[in-house]
Structure 1
């Protein structure tokens, strides 16, 4: 058994100061120590996949990051680990607990995951070793992890068994204190209620590009046609085209915006992607700042897979964003909404716009002619993280 301080301070000496995750009782002392230290940053995610994406955003900004989760949460993290951190080559340190350990009596829901945790990590090509239980082991373990991450630019995992860390009391809240979100909230409607007059995705993207300054603004486009049409509209070093990890664009944008408050971060989401990970609305509303702008282009279908309908026709995303703590929420089908979004003051909170658009895409829609890794490296160089 080690003290939480021994591991966290050794990790801090190697640059790790950003943490995101979903709690597990095995992790309690570790999480408590991180929360108690005002120089460290802990983001409590809605699920483990979002935690991976939040940490990935911080890593892109040059902040080495740790993701903490129970092994049951590996199921939620499979998609971003295989189609975000692997494809884009983003190094993260994973600390995953071993519920369902064969050597312990545990709850029945952990039995199978306890048997396959190591194999699941190996299948995802994530190398792993057990979390250190002796102080003398900490430095060698971290050295092996960081050496791999620096060379391969991919995640490395530590599997934590029960009782690895001594108890550590929580003395402060990890949730930022804010005034009532409704007291200074700005909400506007831009509906014309004519579906035939709705603009296309490509028209909306072109206007967003016009409204953003590439010198101080980055744009993250969700997977599918959105990223491809943004590339077709204008390929730029300040653009990041998601090619997988559906629904994770907003969580990665949150991590980046928190790690780089000097940058303006614009996330372009889709209705299907937003519905898939709606828990991140609450995380953004709680932690996000005024430098994060979240735009949802809603055509009410899964466009790139055959235009199957989503359930977004009956959903008020702007009301959800308001309830979650965004400072500005706009909704409508009038493209003037975009102009208003980029001029209104968010009062130190994130901004949100729900723009209804029409389905369909460009003929012969191209794909980015750069690999995801090349796109990310160009993007990181643009923001000064080479």
Structure 2
């Protein structure tokens, strides 16, 4: 058994100062110490996949990151780990607890199957792993092996934490309560769909600045943005549907002086709607979350989403977004982007369906997209 401080301070020396995750009783002391540390950053996520995307955004923005969660929630993280981290070559350190360990301490029935397959699942996902250290002397070599792999292969590395690995550590900090202090006026949403996604993306490109970070959700959004004009400050997500706003959150928190523009879709946003609660709590003033809503899964078959039955603006307001705006024309979108952000902003844009003919796929590969974005951020620092 080790002290949380012993591991975290060595990790700090190796460059790990950004943590995010979902609690597990095995991780209590670990998370408590990170939260109490003034020189570390912790973001509590609503689910494990969201945490992976947040950590990945911070890594792209220049911060080595740790994501922590219980193995029973591993399933929530499989999608971004396989189609975001592995595809874009984004290395993060994973600490996953081993509930339901075979021949281990008795545990609740829901942990039985995942406990039996946790190591094999990591191996199937081609994520190298080892046990979380339980002796102080093993901490530095363990972290060094993780860093060496992450540096050489640009992919995740996992530590599997058994019960009783970390000594008890109380939490001394109090959670800062952040209710929406002033409920913004919720704009009315017109039923009219006059413009296409392509027209709105052209307006976003025209209104944004070269130093902004522009992140496009998976599907036709990224492909159309690329086809209009490929730019080094643009990130075209593939896979990991619903994770673009969490990726943007990680970047915005790690780079508070850079404006981050997230271009989301209704289907993607609905898939991980809990991300809005985390973003609304963290409230980075440099994040603009744009939702293009055509009320359908256009890039995956064209079936309708349920967005016609909900109010995204009221949801964003309730989650803590400080500014909520509705735009109906490309000119309104471009005008909004011309002014610097002063608070966390949600921009809702209803669009009509439609795809440009002969829409190309990006010729630049996902690892190249990620690497050039890192360079853009590093040059700007």
TM-score by length of 1: 0.95
The equivalent position to 1:298 in structure 2, one of 287, 293, 305, is 293
Q: Give 1:344 shift.
A: 6.7
* CA distance, structure 1, for counterparts of residue 72 and residue 38 of structure 2: 29
Q: Structure 1 residues 59 and 385 mapped into 2: Cα distance closer, same or farther (>3 Å)?
A: farther
Q: What residue in structure 2 maps to residue 181 of structure 1?
A: 180
1:151-180 CA-partner distances (Å, limit 9, x unpaired): 00100000000100000000013x5454x5
Tell whether the 8 Å contact from 2:291 to 2:349 is kept in structure 1 after alignment. Answer: yes
Q: What residue in structure 1 maps to residue 52 of structure 2?
A: 52
Q: Structure 1 residues 44 and 144 mapped into 2: Cα distance closer, same or farther (>3 Å)?
A: same
Q: Give 1:187 shift.
A: 4.0
Q: What residue in structure 1 maps to residue 142 of structure 2?
A: 141
Q: Give 1:24 shift.
A: 0.1
Q: What residue in structure 2 maps to residue 117 of structure 1?
A: 118
Are 2:66 and 1:72 equivalent residues in the alignment? Answer: no
* CA distance, structure 1, for counterparts of residue 332 and residue 199 of structure 2: 13
Aligned counterparts, 1:255-294, within 5 A: 255-294=250-289
Tell whether the 8 Å contact from 2:259 to 2:341 is kept in structure 1 after alignment. Answer: no
Q: Give 1:47 shift.
A: 0.4
Tell whether the 8 Å contact from 2:19 to 2:67 is kept in structure 1 after alignment. Answer: yes
1:203-258 CA-partner distances (Å, limit 9, x unpaired): 000000011001x2010000000000000111000000001100000000000000
Are 2:81 and 1:81 equivalent residues in the alignment? Answer: yes
Q: What residue in structure 2 maps to residue 130 of structure 1?
A: 131
* CA distance, structure 1, for counterparts of residue 327 and residue 121 of structure 2: 43
* CA distance, structure 1, for counterparts of residue 336 and residue 66 of structure 2: 33
Are 2:170 and 1:169 equivalent residues in the alignment? Answer: yes
Q: What residue in structure 1 maps to residue 154 of structure 2?
A: 153
* CA distance, structure 1, for counterparts of residue 366 and residue 255 of structure 2: 21
The equivalent position to 2:209 in structure 1, one of 213, 225, 242, is 213
Q: Give 1:185 shift.
A: 2.9
Q: Give 1:383 shift.
A: 1.5
* CA distance, structure 1, for counterparts of residue 185 and residue 18 of structure 2: 31
* CA distance, structure 1, for counterparts of residue 339 and residue 345 of structure 2: 9
Q: Give 1:140 shift.
A: 0.8
Tell whether the 8 Å contact from 1:220 to 1:268 is kept in structure 2 after alignment. Answer: yes
Q: What residue in structure 2 maps to residue 376 of structure 1?
A: 370
Tell whether the 8 Å contact from 2:183 to 2:317 is kept in structure 1 after alignment. Answer: no
Question: More deviation in 376-385 or 33-42?
Answer: 376-385
* CA distance, structure 1, for counterparts of residue 336 and residue 118 of structure 2: 44
Q: What residue in structure 1 maps to residue 192 of structure 2?
A: 194
Provide the aligned length of Structure 1 versus Structure 2.
Answer: 379
Q: Give 1:190 shift.
A: 6.0
Aligned counterparts, 1:301-316, within 5 A: 301-316=296-311
Tell whether the 8 Å contact from 2:187 to 2:313 is kept in structure 1 after alignment. Answer: no
Structure 1 unmatched ranges of 5 or more: none
1:313-340 CA-partner distances (Å, limit 9, x unpaired): 1111111000011011123544454245
RMSD in angstroms over aligned alpha carbons? 1.6
Q: Give 1:353 shift.
A: 1.0
* CA distance, structure 1, for counterparts of residue 43 and residue 55 of structure 2: 9
Q: What residue in structure 2 maps to residue 362 of structure 1?
A: 356
Tell whether the 8 Å contact from 1:337 to 1:353 is kept in structure 2 after alignment. Answer: no
TM-score by length of 2: 0.96
Q: Structure 1 residues 342 and 332 mapped into 2: Cα distance closer, same or farther (>3 Å)?
A: closer
